[in-house]
Amino acid sequence: MVKKVYIKTFGCQMNVRDSEVVKGLLLAEGYKLTDDEKKADIVLFNTCSVRQHAEDKVWSALGNIGRSHKSQVTSHKLKKIETIDTGKKVIGIIGCMAQNYKKKVFQRAPNVDFIVGPSDINKIPDIIEKIVHRPSSIVHRTFCEVNDVRPEEIYHTGFREDKKHAYVVISEGCDNYCTYCVVPYVRGRLRHRPFKEILREIREAVDCGITCITLLGQNVNSYHDAGRNINFVGLLRDIACVCGIKELTFLTCHPKDTTKELFEAIRDIPVIKKSLHLPLQSGSDKILKLMNRGYTAKRYLEIVDQYRSIVYNGQISTDIIVGFPGETEEDFKKTFELFRDISFNGAFLFKYSPRPNTQAIELKDDVALEVKKRRHAELLKFQREVSKKKENRR
Ligand code: 5AD
Ligand code: SF4
């Protein structure tokens, strides 16, 4: 009988695309997809580790699967579950949490059959195949090579959830090492996909009716194909020439790598959406330094001014973290004032969450939760008013 697969995706657009890739690979092996977790033979959680809250959602979803199988399970020991519960679903934790926790996932969630980190998603069909056909041959199955280069073929299965819009990964991993961020540890060092493969994927998508493209990477504007000496702006210019594309966007830019040339490209290339997502994170130089962001508040403001002077009516959105270790009222005031003065079109606001392996874990998480909540609420209130005003003006 054909096995049915259910994939639940947590986290960012990169994970949304990775889930699509995994679905494409499994469809090619003859599996069926289902939107109903209860009917699935194989349940995959594509997970996120960016904040504690994202991980908590996965642990609780895993607990819920356990409960629905309680009648079949008489022991908490993994081996016992595998031998007694023969009719149980195959459960896989894939993505960032798999990499972050590795085998510890099995200790906390003994109902999990396998874990696969973001760099190994090409191995998922093979692993599932082995578990389905030889259920008790291996107890822990784990693949988590963080710096592996994904084989290019995985991006070319042709499967896409949306028939008009496509996410296209241009680079994997991150080399910035912002001190709060788990990404370099779970997605590995920065690797750029070859220019010709990105263009091939985009042409394939457009041939299937896709008209809008969003390029994805942790730091898209550092893109570089060394073999061809093509940078991000060169990539944008070539993609824009692909006949049939109506809209081109990209996520996420790092302020330290923005250039006048990039803003001119946004202005000059008609299909590029006139909007920029440029995470600020903090308006205090002291905190920016502790975060290892590589710019000051003054420099960030100069970049925004340059963008706005080049891209007429250009939109700009940002990310802010409140309550980073050592953030005083004075530091927060600087963030609030810069946030207010720039007046963003949109903002994602986060409370600092200590992450294992990161450099900031060494610092004392000394801003009380109540204080984080208040600072978060202040920014949110301001942003809601600004967004409403900007919406009404359009
Ligand atoms: N705590 C809170 N927010 C974080 N982000 C990344 N790491 C953390 C963390 N440890 C936020 C940043 C980033 C966005 C994707 O998530 O603002 O830009
Ligand atoms: Fe979450 Fe970051 Fe992984 Fe995306 S890359 S899923 S935001 S930890």
Is the pLDDT at 318 greater than 50? The verdict is yes
Residue 270, judged by CB atoms within 10 A of its CB (0-12, 13-18, 19+), counts as exposed
- The 8-class DSSP code of residue 272 comes to B
For residue 323 the two structure tokens come to: 């309550």
Query: Phi and psi for 92 in degrees, rounded to 5?
Result: -125, 135
Lowest mean pLDDT among 20-29, 76-85, 154-163, 200-209: 76-85
pLDDT of residue 388: 86
As beta bridge partners, residue 275 has 315
* Domain boundary assignment for the chain: 4-143, 164-393
Q: Name the residue at shortest CA distance from atom 17 of ligand 1.
A: 319
pLDDT of residue 65: 81
**Which residue, 85, 103, 83, is CA-closest to 93?**
103
> How does residue 66 score in pLDDT terms, banded at 50, 70 and 90?
low
pLDDT of residue 64: 83
pLDDT of residue 139: 60
For the stretch 114-131, pLDDT in tens is: 999 999 999 999 999 988
* Count of residues making up the chain: 394
- Of the two residues 250 and 132, the one the predictor is more confident about is 250
The CA distance from 249 to 281, in Å, is: 21
For the stretch 349-363, pLDDT in tens is: 999 999 999 999 999
Residue 60, judged by CB atoms within 10 A of its CB (0-12, 13-18, 19+), counts as exposed
Task: Please state whether 11 falls in left (phi above 0), alpha (psi between -120 and 50) or beta.
Answer: left
Give the count of beta carbons closer than 10 Å to the beta carbon of residue 385.
10
Mean pLDDT value across residues 368-387: 97
Closest ligand 2 atom, residue 187 Cα: 5
Instruction: Judge contact between 351 and 378, C-beta under 8 A.
Output: no
Give the count of beta carbons closer than 10 Å to the beta carbon of residue 221.
21
> How does residue 392 score in pLDDT terms, banded at 50, 70 and 90?
confident
CA of 300 to the centre of ligand 1 (A): 18
Is the pLDDT at 16 greater than 70? The verdict is yes
- The 8-class DSSP code of residue 82 comes to H
CA of 180 to the centre of ligand 1 (A): 7
pLDDT of residue 135: 66
* SS3 assignment, position 115: strand
Instruction: Judge contact between 69 and 88, C-beta under 8 A.
Output: yes
Closest ligand 1 atom, residue 348 Cα: 17
Mean pLDDT of the chain: 92
pLDDT of residue 136: 64
For the stretch 264-280, pLDDT in tens is: 999 999 999 999 999 99
CATH number of 4-143: 3.40.50.12160
Q: 164-393, superfamily in CATH?
A: tm_1862 like domain (3.80.30.20)
CA of 350 to the centre of ligand 1 (A): 7
Query: Phi and psi for 355 in degrees, rounded to 5?
Result: -120, 135
The CA distance from 173 to 188, in Å, is: 5
As beta bridge partners, residue 92 has 44, 114
CA of 270 to the centre of ligand 2 (A): 31
pLDDT of residue 141: 81
Lowest mean pLDDT among 86-100, 207-221, 334-348: 86-100
For the stretch 128-163, pLDDT in tens is: 998 888 766 556 688 888 988 899 999 999 999 999
Is the pLDDT at 221 greater than 60? The verdict is yes
Lowest mean pLDDT among 78-82, 174-178, 294-298: 78-82
Side-chain-facing half-sphere of 76: CA atoms under 13 Å: 5
The Cα-based distances of 124 to 24, 89, 246, 329 in angstroms read 11, 15, 34, 48
Q: Which ligand is closest to the CA of 355, given by its number?
A: 1
Task: Say which residues have a Cβ less than 8 Å from residue 251's Cβ, sequence separation at least 6.
Answer: 13, 214, 215, 216, 217, 220, 277
Which own/partner pairs from 151-157 qualify as long-range (CB within 8 Å, at least 24 positions apart)? 151/122, 152/193, 152/194, 152/197, 153/122, 154/21, 154/24, 154/25, 154/121, 154/122, 155/21, 155/193, 155/197, 155/201, 156/200, 156/201, 156/204, 157/21, 157/24, 157/25, 157/27, 157/28
The CA distance from 25 to 123, in Å, is: 10
pTM above 0.85, yes or no: yes
Task: Please state whether 326 falls in left (phi above 0), alpha (psi between -120 and 50) or beta.
Answer: left
pLDDT of residue 232: 97
CA of 182 to the centre of ligand 2 (A): 8
- Tell how strand 224-225 and strand 212-216 pair up: unpaired
pLDDT of residue 313: 92
Instruction: Judge contact between 18 and 118, C-beta under 8 A.
Output: yes
Is the pLDDT at 257 greater than 50? The verdict is yes
What percent of the chain has a predicted confidence (pLDDT) above 90? 84
The pick from 49, 51, 176, 324 for probing ligand 1's pocket by mutation, whose C-beta has the most ligand atoms within 8 angstroms, reads: 51
Query: Phi and psi for 174 in degrees, rounded to 5?
Result: -160, 140
Same CATH fold, 164-393 and 4-143? no
Is the pLDDT at 74 greater than 70? The verdict is no
- Ligand 2 neighbours, Cβ below 6 Å, are 11-12, 14-15, 48-50, 95-96, 182-183, 186-187
Is the pLDDT at 18 greater than 60? The verdict is yes
Task: Say which residues have a Cβ less than 8 Å from residue 296's Cβ, sequence separation at least 6.
Answer: 285, 288
Is the pLDDT at 1 greater than 50? The verdict is yes
